[in-house]
Amino acid sequence: MSADPLALARPDIVALKPYAHAAWDPRLERLHANESPWRVPGDASAAGLNRYPEPQPQALVEALAALYGVQPAQLLVGRGSDEGIDLLTRAFCTAGRDAVIVCPPTFGMYAVAARIQGAAVSSVPLRRDAGYALDLPAIRAALVPQVKLVYLCTPNNPTGNEIAEADVLAVLEACAGRALVVVDEAYGEFCGHAGHARRLAGFPHLVVLRTLSKAHGLAGARVGSLLAQPAIVALLRKIIPPYAMAQPTVEAALQALQPPAQAVARERIVATIAERARLAAALAPLPAVERVWPSAANFLLVEFRDAGAALRAIMDAGLIVRDFRGTAGLGEALRLTIGTPEQNDRLLRSLA
């Protein structure tokens, strides 16, 4: 098959004539988009909430591209990584025919987006006995022609481990000309790995997902970046809703990407990593705890002797954690997000 990843896309999307949104030219006064000419009282935004936002806000795209070390044409900004997952699924999977590969236990939206689109979900479980490493022979065996997207999450949610660099490369090699490899690095800032965006030039079928929701503290603003070769970005721009990025979000993200805010984000990443180590070391010897899995993210996957009892104790302390009991491949597991030192102390007291 061709090395052109657009050969993998839905031909009807490749041929689609996108919606023509109102032209963007800030030098001219806008009488072309049927907006109100007046701001609402209390609107303190820079651009005015009475105006439609810039479709792919150039300043934000440039700031994110600098943050992730890619060219602006290699980046699509959307409403969280979730939007990138949704767009990839819709652009590459024909309903009733195509499929995606997921490696559970992993982030649930890959499979949900596929099912919404009517694409099949082929599951190749991670190897619990090998610290939740990829099962490479099984991925190769599952790589039938219908598979258009292969999702790798590193560090993986909810297990917390990184996927070995050699394994990511092996999947990239196996998928060349056959499927896109989507490497989700939502927790990349917490792991010390340089990330896979630097490999975009070598692998035209690589897509990397990054987000401001975790280490950058902007989950409520919804800002995710999809990094890929320009042809893939241009294809997805055709199907993203015309004014996806709300103006308050754009302004909040630009603010968060300024050097002073970035310095604070870096300090908090260091603090989170330190708290992760402290929490893991304090949890491991507790009688209630069966196992603390090593984590390269901002959470810990912890197996308890009785996860129900642990959950009740944690909730009695006024905290909520994620219940993963009943998830295939996980035992009596809860996922604990690293909080402030005070919250982490309270969590530990509740389990002691």
Task: Please report, as ranges, the residues that interact with ligand PLP according to CB under 6 A.
Answer: 80-82, 107, 153, 157, 184, 186, 211, 213, 219, 224
Which residue lies nearer to ligand PLP by CB, 229 or 298? Answer: 298
Helix pair angle (247-256, 259-283), 10° resolution: 80
Of 153 and 191, which CB lies nearer to ligand PLP in the complex structure? 153
Nearer to ligand PLP among residue 117 and residue 313 (C-beta): 117
**Closest separation in Å from C-beta 207 to ligand PLP:** 13
Least Å from the CB of residue 253 to ligand PLP: 12
Q: Which is nearer to ligand PLP, 30 or 193 (CB)?
A: 193
Q: Which is nearer to ligand PLP, 36 or 262 (CB)?
A: 262
Shortest distance, CB of residue 165 to ligand PLP, whole angstroms?
18
Residue nearer to ligand PLP on the CB measure, 211 or 229? 211
Least CB distance from residue 7 to ligand PLP, whole Å?
Answer: 27
Residues 142, 146, 148: CA angle, nearest 5 degrees = 90
Least distance CB 216 / ligand PLP (angstroms): 10
- Provide the minimum distance between the beta carbon of 331 and ligand PLP in the complex, in angstroms, as a whole number: 20
Q: Nearest distance from residue 81's CB to ligand PLP, in Å? A: 4
Which residue is at the shortest CB distance from ligand PLP?
80
Which C-beta is closer to ligand PLP: that of 313 or that of 324? 324
Nearer to ligand PLP, 187 or 304 (CB): 187
Nearest distance in Å: CB 64, ligand PLP:
12
Assign 3-class secondary structure to the chain.
CCCCHHHHCCHHHHCCCCCCCCCCCCCCCCCCCCCCCCCCCCCCCCCCCCCCCCCCCHHHHHHHHHHHCCCHHHEEEECHHHHHHHHHHHHHCCCCCCEEEECCCCCCHHHHHHHHHCCEEEECCCEHHHCCECCHHHHHHHCCCCEEEEEEECCCCCCCCCCCHHHHHHHHHHHCCCCEEEEECCCHHHCCCCCCHHHCCCCCCEEEEEECCCCCCCCCCCCEEEECCHHHHHHHHCCCCCCCCCHHHHHHHHHHCCHHHHHHHHHHHHHHHHHHHHHHHHHCCCCCEEEECCCCCCEEEEEECCHHHHHHHHHHCCCCCEECCCCCCCCCEEEEECCCHHHHHHHHHHHC
